[in-house]
């Protein structure tokens, strides 16, 4: 049996999932929130962390420091799992229903909130419940 969405060990409260919202990029990528969308966009334009310096382009110049970008978007298994399988989560390739009911959206992402070694840093930074909530 699945636990309620916002009851997890890392104290994450995903406002996007809680309010049944998601984000669809112009290229068709379906993402759980804007924070993940920014990371996936950066991976597409600059390469995954560790490879950013090898893939220079105008975005790099516009965004600035490659090392800072790499640190801010450093890969976690949860993000790399999405990125490596991104075709599965593209509205031009699969139905929205198939995407949002996929294991990554209903199991992998929410279960990552129970393991501090698996959770995406963006979830921690933007979605940790305050202790007084």
Q: Are 90 and 28 in contact (CB under 8 A)?
A: yes
φ/ψ of 122, rounded to 5, equals -70, -35
- pTM, two decimals, is 0.73
With the C-alpha atoms ordered 16, 42, 67, 85, is the resulting torsion angle positive or negative?
positive
With the C-alpha atoms ordered 91, 26, 118, 130, is the resulting torsion angle positive or negative?
negative
At 71-127, the pLDDT tens digits run: 555 557 888 889 889 999 999 999 999 999 999 999 999 999 998 888 888 888 888
Rounded Cα distance, 28 and 81, in Å? 18
DSSP-assigned beta bridge partners for residue 31: 23
């Amino acid at each position: 049996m699945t636990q309620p969405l916002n009851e997890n060990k890392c104290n994450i409260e995903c406002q996007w999932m809680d309010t049944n919202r998601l984000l669809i990029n112009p290229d068709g990528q379906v993402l759980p929130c804007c924070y993940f969308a920014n990371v996936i966009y950066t991976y597409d334009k600059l390469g995954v962390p560790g490879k950013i310096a090898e893939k220079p382009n105008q975005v790099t110049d516009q965004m600035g420091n490659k090392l800072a970008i790499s640190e801010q978007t450093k890969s976690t298994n949860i993000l790399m799992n999405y990125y490596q399988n991104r075709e599965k989560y593209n509205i031009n390739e699969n139905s929205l229903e198939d995407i949002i009911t996929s294991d990554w959206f209903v199991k992998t992402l929410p279960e990552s909130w129970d393991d501090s070694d698996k959770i995406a840093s963006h979830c921690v930074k933007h979605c940790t419940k305050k202790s007084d909530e």
